[in-house]
A = this chain, B = another copy of it.
């Protein structure tokens, strides 16, 4: 079989049906020019993933379906699109059509993930059989959609009743011989997930006894990231992986892995059988930059403003913002108070200068004094946290004033460790349209700051910022460690609990002190109301606050008592 198959790794805008169609056509033309016989898009490429409640609108479904079916292209394309319900009072399908062929529907997704960030049972009816695209450019291919391939090697959190890969393998044993099986994916990123995804592809290729090709979406949509990394896997475990975070076309020569080509920025990774995949040192940094950058581009946001405290979080957030929208379009505001050290101002300024972003200074002393005196009745006999939060909120006020005055988006600079402990101020440092570091633990913030410096070859985050003890500077001589465990310990407890589900007993078995564990878990549950109102943050961990985290608020969380 000499037909080459192209995987169109695209970065759709959710809801931009026509724009997404144009991008698919552009990539398909590139595929055609590169000698591909037909092309395969990602899952729901025409609507973008996840379309969320747009899928509840009948005319959205029919419009997607029509545009996908009507796509013009020099080569056939298997297009991922929502498809209308099969009967009245049933849900639409998550399907695949053949462009230019409005009659034939190729298949609908069988396994509908409904866990973590996925809500597919909310929107789609499951199908009962995988599909086949017969004699498409002279070959017969099995067609599956994302999750359909994940049950086979046990990579889903819970078992489904059926296994579409096993079904296609069974057809093969019964004489339905296919040349390859393709998979249209929108498989969200989290750190260290690529290895599992490649394992899914290898396991499928091995059982099917023919190549397995997975086209994955790339880019950020709200709080979800897609890393691309489309895959071709052969039955012996040989695999070719497309670059992360870039649009492009992977043209597969099924007869010779070394002849696969990538049309786009970056290079293919060739894996020999059993060779493990390495995501690379800068992957997490690229992920976070992609999240903010795509959020701005897809929302029409051109400018970013943030508070620059001189601390590590706002310094890294400024770095990320400068890459996301360009340094000229970023404004950092230093807003020192009477509790701020001189190094806070100096360090903030150093970051701004190194990055080449705009730098403003609005000391809050006068506003703070006025507020203190105007609100003295409120503040003097109350919980001192009110006075601390007042400073954070005055800063939020200034940043939002700048944002509103200039049509910029404010970003919140908090990290996951702070958010997990409620060590942050609602409407203060939590104010903003996006929280680029919201799923990074504090120690990851340090690591990414060092990586960023290395990448640009300059100390955008200077040594002082990297080494001074973290402080909110909302009270004299305040240090984070006065209220929280040291960050390496806090981060580990949070990670083990949130991502791996360890409870207090298991955390103690892991070597953590019981009173520390209890304090951390209590603060985590008591501050759920803050996270309910946090801006979207790009999900980079196995479990992030946001769409995949649905905790009750007015609840007894310590039900083990």
A contact residues vs B (CB 8 Å cutoff): 13-19, 48, 50-54, 56-57, 59-60, 63, 89-91, 114-115, 119, 121-122, 154, 157-159, 220-222, 294-295, 298-299, 362, 366-367, 370-371, 374-375, 378-379, 381-383, 385-387, 389-390, 393-394, 396-398, 400-407, 426-427, 431, 433, 501, 503, 529, 532-536, 549-557, 559-561
A501 CA / B403 CA spacing, docked (Å) = 34
A555 CA / B219 CA spacing, docked (Å) = 13
Which of B389, B397, B433, B550 interacts with A393 by CB under 8 Å?
B397
Task: Specify which chain B residues have a CB less than 8 angstroms from the CB of A433 in the assembled complex.
Answer: 529
Closest to A409 in B: B529
A48 CA / B559 CA spacing, docked (Å) = 12
Contact A378 B366 (CB under 8 A): no
Task: Specify which chain B residues have a CB less than 8 angstroms from the CB of A405 in the assembled complex.
Answer: 378-379, 381-383, 386
Contact A362 B374 (CB under 8 A): yes
A47, chain B: closest CB distance, angstroms = 8
With contact pairs A370-B366, A378-B402, A383-B404 given, residues A54 and B559 touching in the complex (Cβ less than 8 Å): yes
Contact B402 A550 (CB under 8 A): no
A553, chain B: closest CB distance, angstroms = 5
A385 CA / B427 CA spacing, docked (Å) = 18
Contact A52 B550 (CB under 8 A): yes
A-B contact pairs, 9 of them (CB 8 A): A14-B554, A59-B560, A119-B122, A222-B552, A294-B554, A370-B370, A382-B406, A393-B396, A393-B427
Which of B19, B52, B381, B533 interacts with A535 by CB under 8 Å?
B533
A345, chain B: closest CB distance, angstroms = 17
A198, chain B: closest CB distance, angstroms = 22
Which 9 A-B pairs rank lowest in CB-CB distance, beginning with the nearest? A382-B405, A386-B405, A386-B404, A298-B554, A427-B427, A16-B556, A121-B121, A14-B555, A15-B556
A552 CA / B393 CA spacing, docked (Å) = 28
Task: Specify which chain B residues have a CB less than 8 angstroms from the CB of A534 in the assembled complex.
Answer: 533
Task: Specify which chain B residues have a CB less than 8 angstroms from the CB of A407 in the assembled complex.
Answer: 383
A52 CA / B532 CA spacing, docked (Å) = 14
Task: Specify which chain B residues have a CB less than 8 angstroms from the CB of A401 in the assembled complex.
Answer: 371, 375, 378-379, 386-387, 389-390, 393
A170 CA / B413 CA spacing, docked (Å) = 61
Contact A553 B427 (CB under 8 A): no
A177, chain B: closest CB distance, angstroms = 32
Contact A375 B362 (CB under 8 A): yes
A385 CA / B159 CA spacing, docked (Å) = 52
Closest to A220 in B: B554
A271, chain B: closest CB distance, angstroms = 28
Task: Specify which chain B residues have a CB less than 8 angstroms from the CB of A90 in the assembled complex.
Answer: 158-159
Give me 8 other A-B pairs in contact (C-beta within 8 A), A367-B371, A382-B404 excluded. Answer: A13-B554, A15-B555, A17-B556, A54-B557, A59-B560, A63-B559, A91-B158, A119-B122
Task: Specify which chain B residues have a CB less than 8 angstroms from the CB of A366 in the assembled complex.
Answer: 370, 374
With contact pairs A53-B549, A115-B122 given, residues A13 and B556 touching in the complex (Cβ less than 8 Å): yes
With contact pairs A158-B89, A159-B90 given, residues A50 and B298 touching in the complex (Cβ less than 8 Å): no
Task: Specify which chain B residues have a CB less than 8 angstroms from the CB of A396 in the assembled complex.
Answer: 393, 427
A557, chain B: closest CB distance, angstroms = 6
Task: Specify which chain B residues have a CB less than 8 angstroms from the CB of A553 in the assembled complex.
Answer: 222, 295, 299, 536
A509, chain B: closest CB distance, angstroms = 14
A367 CA / B394 CA spacing, docked (Å) = 11
Task: Specify which chain B residues have a CB less than 8 angstroms from the CB of A554 in the assembled complex.
Answer: 13-14, 220-222, 294-295, 298-299
A221 CA / B532 CA spacing, docked (Å) = 14
With contact pairs A122-B115, A367-B374, A405-B386 given, residues A559 and B16 touching in the complex (Cβ less than 8 Å): yes
Contact A56 B501 (CB under 8 A): yes
Task: Specify which chain B residues have a CB less than 8 angstroms from the CB of A18 in the assembled complex.
Answer: 559, 561
Contact A550 B404 (CB under 8 A): no
Best-buried of A122, A389, A394, A556 by chain B (most CB within 10 Å): A556
Task: Specify which chain B residues have a CB less than 8 angstroms from the CB of A381 in the assembled complex.
Answer: 405
A219, chain B: closest CB distance, angstroms = 10
Task: Specify which chain B residues have a CB less than 8 angstroms from the CB of A503 in the assembled complex.
Answer: 57, 59
With contact pairs A121-B121, A400-B393, A401-B390 given, residues A54 and B555 touching in the complex (Cβ less than 8 Å): yes
